[in-house]
Chains A and B, each alone.
Chain A
Amino acid sequence: MGRQETFYELIRRQGISRRNFLKFCSLSAASLGLAPHFAGKIAHAMETKPRVPVLWLHGLECTCCTESFIRSAHPLAKDVILSMVSLDYDDTIMAAAGHQAEQAVADIMRDYKGQYILAVEGNPPLGNDGTFCIPGGRPFVEKLKEVAADAAAVIAWGSCASWGCVQAAKPNPTTAVPIHKVITDKPIIKVPGCPPIAEVMTGVITFYVTFGELPALDRQGRPLMFYGQRVHDKCYRRGHFDAGQFSEKFDDFGARAGYCLYKVGCRGPTTYNACSTTRWNEGVSFPIGSGHGCLGCSEPDFWDNGPFYDRLETFPQFGAEASADRIGAAAAAIVGVGIAAHAGLTALRQAKVKPNKPVAADERVV
């Protein structure tokens, strides 16, 4: 295989001006939260570093991550990010099919051992020996383990690969698991969301290509630059939250006035994502901007985390589902009645005993 083309050579060949290229570099630096001089570093990396081969595998999924990714909206990102890495295998969007496609995986794994990035969308089902997901004639979990073995880094796209998401929701009939249950010996960058924000996905790749290392991750493996704050922390309705101005129902005055959606179950305060800063579709809007609360799609146990319009988990094990508060209040009522009854019984006993006056120990009736 010949010398791998650099990103810069590739986009110049595609007719993109240097001016636009530098704009892209500045934009990338800004979206990654880097200082202005990093734009130069990014430009330098793209001019000199060979493109990083990426193998993009698809397990049990709905492909919404890919749908999001291909809509990456920064001016150049749509063409560029797909070209800046060498996306050598992505069975959803690649032209090749069948044996040709599978051959691409084998080639990359042979020629770029230990250098390629494995990006995983969806997750492996383990039930029935993995037969619930069979791409290329064999269980996805086997392919995943095989490709992961020689990868430099692994990216978990979306909530499926990161946490399990809908197919791992109770009762999880296929025993779908997030990829970190299967790949245990590699660094995994989790990019959760259902789907993740396109610019977040491209940003993570840009960072890796530029610096040749993983971005700083939080305790759960998510890149801090995008998942370091809650949706709530940068929400443009936060002022209404602090003021105490809430939408009580979806059709009341507060909803029309753009008040905080906390009382209609917004999960912004418990959700780490960049929606309120990056927004979606070229920064047009995001769920809260459209008057609907955050569903917390990028959090672990999305789907099993109680009702979508409630901010407290439920305990399903008590028959009818109930939150900690309902159970607690019921227990308090029972204890209250118990105390009253006990106080009554104690009073009856005391009436027999005639206490409350000093008595010698042996006189006291017990």
Chain B
Amino acid sequence: MSKMYHPSTPLPSRVREGHFGEAILPPAGVQPGPVYVYDAAIRLWHWVTFLAIIVLCVTGYFIASPPPSLGGEAHEHYLFGWIRFTHFAAGMILGVAFVLRLYRVLVGGKHARQIFWIPFWSLSWWKEIFEEVRWYLIIGKPKEYVGHNPLAHFAMFFMFVLPMLVLLFTGFALYSEGTGVHTVWYTWFGWVFRVLGDSMTVRTWHHAAMWVVILFSMVHMYMAIREDMTHRQTTISAMVSGWRFYR
């Protein structure tokens, strides 16, 4: 983890990590140095996923509620075909990015691993979440974490990673219906219909999981901005440059 600190940061200025990634800041009067949190792979994944989700939500909306009907002859247009193609293409990109991200979970260190695993059986972790809830209710104190704070960690696991898995599996299952039951797509993802039910039920799951991700994204963006403004550490720029700075 030598890359965690910038070479120009002297030893006393370094921010160390405590339990659950809590930031242990240097003593008063010492300006904390930046910490390298998100490597290039994670940042790239984050922004690719961000763009893909926007494209998928917009095209998905039009697939569920098509735009007003076009006139003329059918051979003159391919509007709905393009909407569906864009949705599928963005879904493929999202899926591939997610699989590569899982590889980073294995080899990318603890910050790459964090949101894919939760210390469910750790009582102290739940206490930290409670502390964080108090801060969000504006009755507690802000605490700094080098990675995600426990509440964000909780939300990212349950409201992003899990629904994202539901979206990807239901999405590819629905895609496999179009390619046909004799294709590899159906061999790989057709079991979803066995688990969840018929084609309509799988669509319902796809929609429901999307709304969970939308709700998560709303809160996620709000919280990122709010953390950036109320905390001593940077949040938004950390996902751009990878470095977390301290005021």
List residues of chain A with CB under 8 Å of any chain B CB. 218-220, 224, 228-230, 233, 239-248, 253-254, 259, 262-263, 267, 269-272, 296, 299-301, 305-306, 311-313, 323-325, 327-329, 331-332, 335-336, 339, 342-343, 345-346, 349-350, 355-364, 366
Contact of A228 among B75, B180, B208 (CB under 8 A): B180
Q: Is A362's CB under 8 angstroms from B215's CB?
A: no
CA distance A263 to B80 in the complex (A): 12
Cβ contacts under 8 Å, A244 to chain B: 66-67, 69-70, 77-81, 83
Nearest-neighbor residue (CB-CB) of A299 within chain B? B198
What are the 10 tightest A-B residue pairs by CB atom distance, in nearest-first order? A328-B211, A244-B79, A270-B199, A243-B77, A244-B80, A324-B207, A242-B81, A362-B28, A366-B141, A239-B74
Q: Is B29's CB under 8 angstroms from A349's CB?
A: no
Q: Is B218's CB under 8 angstroms from A328's CB?
A: no
Q: Is B214's CB under 8 angstroms from A313's CB?
A: no
Cβ contacts under 8 Å, B180 to chain A: 228-229, 233
Q: Is B74's CB under 8 angstroms from A300's CB?
A: no
Nearest-neighbor residue (CB-CB) of A259 within chain B? B69
B197 within 8 Å of A (CB atoms): yes
Q: Is A361's CB under 8 angstroms from B28's CB?
A: yes
Cβ contacts under 8 Å, B28 to chain A: 360-363
B191 within 8 Å of A (CB atoms): yes
CA distance A359 to B66 in the complex (A): 53
Q: Is B207's CB under 8 angstroms from A245's CB?
A: no
CA distance A360 to B26 in the complex (A): 10
Q: Is A263's CB under 8 angstroms from B66's CB?
A: yes
Q: Is A312's CB under 8 angstroms from B204's CB?
A: yes
CA distance A263 to B141 in the complex (A): 52
Cβ contacts under 8 Å, B20 to chain A: none
Q: Assuming A244-B77, A323-B204, what are 10 further A-B pairs, CB within 8 angstroms?
A: A239-B74, A242-B80, A244-B83, A259-B69, A271-B199, A313-B203, A329-B211, A335-B219, A342-B222, A346-B226
Give how many B residues have a beta carbon under 8 Å from the other chain's beta carbons. 57
CA distance A359 to B31 in the complex (A): 9
CA distance A161 to B136 in the complex (A): 55
Q: Is A355's CB under 8 angstroms from B230's CB?
A: yes
Are A346 and B199 CB-contacts (below 8 A) given A228-B181, A245-B71, A360-B29?
Answer: no
Cβ contacts under 8 Å, B31 to chain A: 358
Nearest-neighbor residue (CB-CB) of A258 within chain B? B74
Cβ contacts under 8 Å, B64 to chain A: 311-312, 325
Cβ contacts under 8 Å, A336 to chain B: 218
Q: Is B66's CB under 8 angstroms from A246's CB?
A: yes
Are A364 and B232 CB-contacts (below 8 A) given A244-B70, A324-B211, A325-B64?
Answer: yes
Cβ contacts under 8 Å, B69 to chain A: 244-248, 254, 259, 263
Q: Is A346's CB under 8 angstroms from B230's CB?
A: yes
B25 within 8 Å of A (CB atoms): yes
**Most chain A CB neighbours (cut-off 10 Å) among B74, B208, B219:** B74
Q: Is A332's CB under 8 angstroms from B203's CB?
A: no
B50 to chain A, nearest CB (A): 18
Cβ contacts under 8 Å, A305 to chain B: 198, 200
List residues of chain B with CB under 8 Å of any chain A CB. 25, 27-29, 31, 64, 66-72, 74-81, 83-84, 136, 138, 141-142, 177-178, 180-182, 190-191, 193-194, 197-201, 203-204, 207-208, 210-211, 214-215, 218-219, 222, 226, 229-230, 232, 247
CA distance A18 to B211 in the complex (A): 63
CA distance A60 to B27 in the complex (A): 79
Q: Is A220's CB under 8 angstroms from B67's CB?
A: no
CA distance A365 to B164 in the complex (A): 39
Cβ contacts under 8 Å, A259 to chain B: 69
Are A345 and B190 CB-contacts (below 8 A) given A312-B207, A324-B211, A356-B229?
Answer: no
Q: Is A300's CB under 8 angstroms from B198's CB?
A: yes
Cβ contacts under 8 Å, A218 to chain B: 181
Q: Is B177's CB under 8 angstroms from A335's CB?
A: no
Q: Is A296's CB under 8 angstroms from B200's CB?
A: yes
A-B contact pairs, 7 of them (CB 8 A): A263-B69, A306-B200, A311-B203, A312-B207, A328-B215, A336-B218, A343-B222
B131 to chain A, nearest CB (A): 13
CA distance A5 to B222 in the complex (A): 79
Are A219 and B79 CB-contacts (below 8 A) given A240-B74, A366-B141?
Answer: no
Cβ contacts under 8 Å, A366 to chain B: 141-142
CA distance A358 to B219 in the complex (A): 27
Cβ contacts under 8 Å, A359 to chain B: 247
Nearest-neighbor residue (CB-CB) of B204 within chain A? A313
Q: Is B193's CB under 8 angstroms from A324's CB?
A: no
